[in-house]
Amino acid sequence: RRPKNFPPGPRPLPLFGNLLQLSIANPMKDLEELSKRYGNIYSLYMGSKAAVVLNGFEAMKEALVTKAVDFAGRPKDLMVNHVTEGKGVILTDYGPSWREHRRFALMTLRNFGLGKQSMEERILGEVSYIIARLEKSAGKPMDPQTLFHDAASNIICTVLFGKRYDYEDKFLKRFIKLYTENAKIANGPWAMIYDTLPMVRSLPLPFKKAFTNSAIVKKMSRDLVSEHKKTRIPGEPRDFIDCYLDELDKVCTCIGDDGSSFSEDQLVMYVLDLHFAGTDTTSNTLLTAFLYLSTHSDIQERCQREIDEVLQGKDQVSFEDRHKMPYTQAMIYESQRIANTVPLSVFHCTTKDTELMGYSIPKGTLIIPNLSSVLYEESQWKFPHEFNPENFLNDQGQFEKPEAFMPFSAGPRMCLGEGLARMELFLILVTLLRRFQFVWPEDGGEPDYTPVWGVTLTPKPYRMVVRHRLKSSD
């Protein structure tokens, strides 16, 4: 039975809750239908666990921004919590450990050059490898699927481990494969069954694969930490791992082990969190951008004209140039909006009894922020259902970001890698568009824009033809 004044929703069945009323292969359509029937805030049951789904800008803003702390928790008893053993930052509940680790990551990313020249150099350095790979395929159709995952992974690897890997490197390939598999399992049918029916959790069902994958990547991360411990010079950090080990030295000598949330086990998981969050998101956004650019040549050419004009006489683009490229900026934001890369965000949880738009929501309720309902909300966008940079341009043709642009979510749990992602998307897209033309192959058939469902949405595999725009001497 629903608590008093709880948001309405479909009647749950004993044991299963509302599981059988949702398509477990991809529940997005069902969630949309339910909001048409019950309004922007409605409830669902996963077994006996109550969940509230947030839809639309108003509800999202009131929950995540206005009532920020009330909605800043993370749920505890889901498959993803068990896979990550409650460590790291993404799935850690609101509290001192989350706060300390979040602050540490933001500070370390900044010190490693976020917003400064050195992070730009890292990204532009990686772009030169992307160019080399594209050069090899010039004139022929190529599948960009792994290229952008490899590149995004390498950028975050240079920050975390101080090194990049060759695109053919077995370590890199394995790391990414295990992650991308888990990103699909974590929101997939077997995770839903695991989350709804605790009695099946010990059975040898397909969700076990997520645990096996996770054990392998944890071992890989632990090995990297051990290697760093052997080669580091305390006080002279080379990368994120060294910074964390320095911090660990400080807390051990100052206040002893207890008192601090920093530990080597946390570090192992933290590295994995950041690597995963920094790879699958940026790469899927890039894949979506190139899917739309290669099928919308008018938009691609308009960006190229603007880029050519602004970068005339310059060797390479800098992040500052974005202010002079309103149309290209708008195209990048529009790619993010249409990509809808993390459609249900990361699930939240209420940290206390609270109210939302007149409903009462008890402490500990699972909160599902349906970000796609905001990114495609008809009242918020000029062209909600088409790929159109005009969504981010005002009447004077200047770049303008509507408040409903929330692919990174909002409030205290908002993506902590936004700055890095933004810089990557701009530098990679501008450099590649300046140099190459991306064309949908003649034998490519009708483009299919429907993404593959998961924690992150991935475009279906596609091919594009890469053609040179400039001669290499230009």
**271 HSE (CA, 13 A, CB side):** 31
Is residue 349 at the binding interface for ligand HEM, with CB under 6 A as the rule?
no
Contact yes or no for 182/210 (Cβ under 8 A): yes
Q: From the list 172, 267, 367, 415, which residue makes contact with ligand HEM (rule: CB under 6 A)?
A: 415
Among positions 284-303, residues that touch ligand HEM (CB under 6 A) are 285
42 three-class SS: strand
Q: Which residues pair with 464 in a beta bridge?
A: 142
Stretch binding ligand HEM (CB under 6 A), from 236-244, 274-282, 373-381, 433-441:
274-282
Question: For ligand HEM, which is the closer residue by CB, 157 or 193?
Answer: 157
Burial 186-221 (b: 16+ CB within 10 A, else e): bbbbbbbbbbbbeeeeeeeeebeebeebbeebbebb
Q: From the list 293, 342, 366, 368, which residue makes contact with ligand HEM (rule: CB under 6 A)?
A: 342
> Is 254 within any annotated ligand binding site?
no
Min separation Cβ 151 and ligand HEM, Å: 12
Q: From the list 185, 346, 356, 393, which residue makes contact with ligand HEM (rule: CB under 6 A)?
A: 346
Residues ≥6 apart with Cβ < 8 Å to 312: none
Question: Phi/psi class of residue 137: alpha, beta or left (left: φ > 0; alpha: ψ in -120 to 50)?
Answer: alpha
For ligand HEM, what does the binding mask look like between residues 420 and 439, x meaning CB under 6 A? xx------------------
425 three-class SS: helix
Is residue 277 at the binding interface for ligand HEM, with CB under 6 A as the rule?
yes
Cα(245)–Cα(472) distance, rounded to whole angstroms? Answer: 44
Question: Phi/psi class of residue 175: alpha, beta or left (left: φ > 0; alpha: ψ in -120 to 50)?
Answer: alpha
Burial 374-394 (b: 16+ CB within 10 A, else e): bbbbeebbeebeebbbebbbe
Question: For ligand HEM, which is the closer residue by CB, 43 or 409?
Answer: 409
Beta strand pairing call for 141-142 and 348-349: unpaired
Q: From the list 184, 296, 337, 413, which residue makes contact with ligand HEM (rule: CB under 6 A)?
A: 413
Is residue 281 at the binding interface for ligand HEM, with CB under 6 A as the rule?
yes
Is residue 108 at the binding interface for ligand HEM, with CB under 6 A as the rule?
no
Min separation Cβ 408 and ligand HEM, Å: 5
Cα(35)–Cα(53) distance, rounded to whole angstroms? Answer: 9
Min separation Cβ 427 and ligand HEM, Å: 13
Is residue 208 at the binding interface for ligand HEM, with CB under 6 A as the rule?
no
Question: Dihedrals φ, ψ of 93, to 5°?
Answer: -65, 160
Question: For ligand HEM, which is the closer residue by CB, 175 or 408?
Answer: 408
Would you give the DSSP letter of residue 256? Answer: -
Indicate if the alpha-carbon torsion angle 386, 388, 394, 400 is positive or negative: positive
Helices 264-295, 326-339: crossing angle, 10 deg rounding: 110
Q: Residue count at the site for ligand HEM (CB under 6 A)? A: 24
Q: From the list 287, 416, 464, 465, which residue makes contact with ligand HEM (rule: CB under 6 A)?
A: 416
Is residue 274 at the binding interface for ligand HEM, with CB under 6 A as the rule?
yes
Min separation Cβ 255 and ligand HEM, Å: 24
Stretch binding ligand HEM (CB under 6 A), from 185-193, 255-263, 340-348, 461-469:
340-348
Stretch binding ligand HEM (CB under 6 A), from 374-382, 401-409, 435-443, 465-473:
401-409
Min separation Cβ 227 and ligand HEM, Å: 21
Residues ≥6 apart with Cβ < 8 Å to 276: 179, 182, 183
Is residue 90 at the binding interface for ligand HEM, with CB under 6 A as the rule?
yes
Question: Phi/psi class of residue 86: alpha, beta or left (left: φ > 0; alpha: ψ in -120 to 50)?
Answer: left
Among positions 38-57, residues that touch ligand HEM (CB under 6 A) are none
Is residue 266 at the binding interface for ligand HEM, with CB under 6 A as the rule?
no
Question: Dihedrals φ, ψ of 34, to 5°?
Answer: -65, -35
Question: For ligand HEM, which is the closer residue by CB, 105 or 248?
Answer: 105
Min separation Cβ 11 and ligand HEM, Å: 29
Is residue 417 at the binding interface for ligand HEM, with CB under 6 A as the rule?
yes
Min separation Cβ 308 and ligand HEM, Å: 26
Looking up tokens 């949405």 gives: 457
Report the greatest alpha carbon distance in the chain.
71
Chain residues in the site for ligand HEM (CB under 6 A): 89-90, 102, 273-274, 277-278, 281-282, 285, 341-342, 345-346, 407-409, 413-417, 420-421
Annotated binding site for heme: 415
